[in-house]
């Protein structure tokens, strides 16, 4: 038993003569550098952190900017009619119980007209059909006749011609409602839109995207054509529509697919290349399957973030066989008996032919299950309305 | 320096420790590769790849699994056999002249009488397929199942090939004695 181990141990401990120093020189540069790998991994980690941070920051800035736009739009539309001037006028009317009120009325109306040309021009359109030759403005049961040309602007918005001659006291509520703010001085939706457009353009910041929401409002108004306190769309409504569209939108995709891919293998070693050529020929068709479940949050600005679950599998098949015929010189020994019964050793030899079949059948399946995190940007002209 | 410390330093990328590892084990591994050596490839080239693989996988080595050389030897054998399979020329036939001695001699007894260089020469002279099975099963101590798995052959083929390899070696020995 000891002898049995001996030759194996000797073989195992046998050292082949070689120039170890030269060998070390040849492999030193090829040994993977652990420190470099660490640095590489660290670099990719911080790159990922940087990209994620940038994505979140950019997304946040865009979100904040969009929010500011909404506020600005509301501010612009509310500021367009000079409400302070109108209030001043109303106060003046309330206070005036003498003839001087007529002059105040007229001067206030002129002030409004000069402050807002768009409102004035629209008022002018309607003044011909709505106003009577003379309109009575009353303050506390006292009717004050005012010339048509002087009071056309604030009074014209009252389409209810039946109340045109009523006293101020009777129409107190309506009068407040019909003070010439942007919304109640306009007769049609198109006028409203035109005015809003001109208002925005005349302001320092032009928010063209706000115009995209007007059709939505127009359809809402179509069902409520009459001006009234209850049905009148307010600026709050507009802001609501705007806010609704500026929020994140949620999408979910579920997909499954089959695919084919072309396989290409190459090497600088000519011996290995012959093997790879053979392999590439048999592996030319790769099967791949993929199923994705993805949740996507899209911001109206076009930026989106998505994540979910993705399953991928790729199957490579390598079916190769090679058959070879080999010849081997075989010797055989045996014994035959002669006539006297003696055994005679004989030796026979012959070529022995045999076939050798070598087969390689490899079916490799690579499956991955991962959680993708995508940050991207969708290019489109207008935000999607919900 | 103990093997354990040497391994730690090598993992940390210490060039001095890495060179020490190469100087200590390269000649033994080269001898091992030569026993499996595919004729179309230089054993030194394979040894280079073996060491690169060793340094890359050194983190996965654990002293509890066995001696460092045994672990390195496993990598060397697997890589050499892999290279072998990539080389198409290994399928080429090799004529072996066989002279039957008629004597029934145990192979172990023969090898124990011979010096190591002669044993190496005899093993290397075996046809490729026979040499691989003989090295794996008779020398390294792999089971026929492990050998069949490594060489992608049937277990029965591994057994019959080993038997045939032994026969060839015995006949070669007889031939050496005759001439």
Q: Which chain A residues contact residue B116 at CB under 8 A?
A: 7, 10-11, 14
Q: Which residue of A has its CA nearest to B23?
A: A20
Q: Which chain A residues contact residue B154 at CB under 8 A?
A: none
Q: Which chain B residues contact residue A24 at CB under 8 A?
A: 19, 22-23, 26
Residue A221: predicted pLDDT: 45
Q: Which of B50, B73, B89 is the last residue of a domain?
A: B89
**Based on the domain organization, do B47 and B98 belong to the same domain?**
no
Give the whole-angstrom CA distance, residue A189 versus residue A236: 17
**Based on the domain organization, do B54 and B130 belong to the same domain?**
no
**Based on the domain organization, do B85 and B109 belong to the same domain?**
no
Asked if A322's CB is within 8 angstroms of B91's CB, the reply is yes
Q: Mean pLDDT for each consecutive 10-residue tract of chain B (179 residues)?
A: 84 88 92 78 85 89 85 90 62 38 62 86 86 90 89 87 87 72
Structure tokens at B126: 């075996």
Say which residue the tokens 């390598």 belong to: A318
Other CB atoms within a 10 A radius of the CB of residue A190 amount to 11
Among A136-140, A249-253, A298-302, the minimum mean pLDDT is found in A136-140
More confident: A89 or A159 = A89
**Based on the domain organization, do B74 and B103 belong to the same domain?**
no
Residue A36: predicted pLDDT: 73
Asked if A15's CB is within 8 angstroms of B102's CB, the reply is no
Asked if A274's CB is within 8 angstroms of B26's CB, the reply is no
Give CA separation, A249 vs A62, A213, A339, A385, B91, in Å: 15, 17, 106, 10, 64
Q: Does A266 touch chain B (CB under 8 A)?
A: no
Q: Enter the ipTM.
A: 0.81
**Based on the domain organization, do B141 and B167 belong to the same domain?**
yes
Please report which residue ranges of chain A form alpha helices under DSSP H.
2-13, 20-28, 34-79, 83-95, 100-115, 117-130, 148-155, 172-177, 189-202, 214-222, 235-246, 270-282
Give me the residue from B86, B91, B119 closest to A324, CB to CB: B91
Highest mean pLDDT among A262-271, A369-378, B38-47: A369-378
**Based on the domain organization, do B111 and B160 belong to the same domain?**
yes
Q: Does B31 touch chain A (CB under 8 A)?
A: yes
Interface of A with B in 276-295 (CB under 8 A): none
Q: Tell me what the mean pLDDT of segment A304-332 comes to.
A: 77
Q: Report the CATH number at residue B84.
A: 1.10.1740.10
Q: Which residue of B has its CA nearest to A335?
A: B102
Q: Which of B35, B68, B89 is the last residue of a domain?
A: B89
Q: What are phi and psi of B152, to 5 degrees?
A: 55, 45
Structural domain total, chain B: 2
Give the whole-angstrom CA distance, residue A250 versus residue A32: 46
Give CA separation, A201 vs A69, A194, A198, A281, A380, in Å: 14, 11, 5, 67, 23
For residue range A171-214, list pLDDT tens digits in order: 444 444 444 444 444 455 555 556 555 554 444 444 444 444 44
Q: Which of B32, B62, B89 is the last residue of a domain?
A: B89
Q: Containing domain of residue B141, as a range?
A: 93-178
**Based on the domain organization, do B67 and B138 belong to the same domain?**
no
Give the whole-angstrom CA distance, residue A286 versus residue A365: 10
Q: A384: which DSSP letter?
A: P
Q: Is A162 exposed, middle or buried (0-12, 13-18, 19+ CB in 10 A)?
A: exposed
Q: Which residue of B has its CA nearest to A324?
A: B91
Q: Report the CATH number at residue B112.
A: 1.10.10.10
Q: Which chain A residues contact residue B141 at CB under 8 A?
A: 8
**Based on the domain organization, do B118 and B174 belong to the same domain?**
yes
Q: Does B134 touch chain A (CB under 8 A)?
A: no
β-bridge partners, A286: A261
**Based on the domain organization, do B122 and B157 belong to the same domain?**
yes
**Angle at which helices A235-246 and A34-79 cross, to 10°:** 170
Cβ partners under 8 Å of residue A153, min gap 6: A109, A112, A113, A119, A120, A123, A127, A180
Distance from CA of A14 to the nearest CA of B (A): 6
Q: Which of A310, A311, A309, A260 is nearest to A288 (CA)?
A: A260
Q: Does A355 touch chain B (CB under 8 A)?
A: no
**Based on the domain organization, do B63 and B133 belong to the same domain?**
no
Asked if A326's CB is within 8 angstroms of B88's CB, the reply is no
Say which residue the tokens 């460092």 belong to: B68
């Amino acid at each position: 038993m000891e002898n049995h181990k001996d030759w194996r141990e000797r073989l195992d401990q046998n050292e082949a003569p070689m120039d170890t120093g030269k060998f070390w020189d040849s492999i030193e540069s090829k040994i993977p550098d652990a420190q470099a790998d660490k640095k590489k991994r660290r670099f990719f980690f911080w790159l990922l952190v940087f990209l994620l941070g940038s994505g979140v920051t950019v997304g946040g800035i865009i979100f904040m900017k969009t929010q500011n736009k909404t506020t600005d739009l509301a501010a612009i539309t509310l500021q367009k009619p000079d409400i302070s001037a109108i209030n001043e006028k109303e106060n003046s009317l309330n206070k005036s119980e003498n003839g001087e009120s007529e002059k105040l009325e007229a001067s206030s109306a002129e002030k409004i007209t000069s402050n807002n040309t768009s409102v004035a021009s629209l008022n002018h359109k309607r003044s011909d059909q709505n106003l009577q030759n003379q309109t009575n403005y009353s303050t506390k049961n006292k009717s004050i006749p005012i010339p048509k040309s002087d009071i056309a602007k604030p009074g014209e918005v009252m389409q209810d011609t039946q109340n045109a001659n009523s006293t101020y006291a009777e129409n107190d509520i309506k009068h407040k409602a019909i003070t010439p703010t942007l919304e109640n001085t306009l007769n049609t939706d198109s006028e409203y839109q035109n005015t809003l457009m001109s208002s925005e353009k005349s302001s320092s910041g032009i928010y063209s995207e706000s115009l995209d929401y007007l059709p939505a409002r127009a359809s809402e108004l179509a069902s409520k054509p009459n001006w009234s306190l209850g049905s009148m769309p307010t600026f709050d409504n507009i802001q609501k529509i705007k806010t609704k569209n500026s929020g994140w939108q949620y999408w979910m995709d579920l997909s499954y697919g089959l695919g084919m891919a072309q396989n290409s293998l190459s090497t600088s070693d000519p011996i290995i290349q012959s093997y790879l050529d053979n392999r590439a020929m048999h592996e030319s068709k790769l099967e791949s399957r993929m199923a994705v479940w993805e949740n996507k949050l899209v911001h109206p600005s076009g930026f989106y973030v998505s994540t979910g679950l993705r399953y991928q599998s790729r199957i490579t098949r390598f079916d190769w066989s090679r058959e070879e015929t080999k010849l081997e010189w075989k010797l055989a020994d045996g014994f035959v008996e002669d006539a006297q019964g003696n055994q005679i050793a004989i030796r026979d030899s012959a070529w022995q032919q045999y076939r050798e079949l070598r087969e390689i059948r490899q079916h490799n399946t690579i499956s991955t299950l991962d959680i993708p995190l995508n940050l991207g940007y969708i290019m489109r002209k207008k935000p999607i309305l919900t | 320096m103990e093997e354990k410390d040497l391994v730690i330093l090598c993992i940390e990328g210490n060039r001095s420790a890495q060179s020490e590892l190469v100087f200590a084990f390269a000649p033994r591994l080269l001898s091992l590769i030569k026993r499996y050596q595919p004729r179309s490839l230089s054993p030194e080239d394979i040894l280079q790849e073996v060491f690169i693989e060793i340094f890359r996988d050194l983190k996965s080595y654990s002293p509890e699994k066995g001696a460092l050389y045994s672990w390195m030897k496993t990598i060397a054998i697997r890589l050499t056999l892999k290279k072998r399979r990539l080389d198409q020329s290994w399928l080429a036939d090799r004529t072996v002249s066989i002279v039957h001695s008629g004597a029934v001699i145990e192979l172990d007894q023969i090898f124990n009488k011979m010096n190591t260089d002669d044993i190496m020469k005899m093993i290397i002279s075996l046809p490729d397929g026979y040499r691989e099975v003989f090295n794996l099963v008779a020398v390294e101590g792999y089971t026929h199942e492990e050998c069949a798995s490594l060489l992608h052959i049937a277990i029965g083929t591994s057994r019959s090939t080993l038997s045939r390899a032994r026969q060839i070696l015995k006949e070669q020995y007889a031939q050496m004695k005759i001439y």
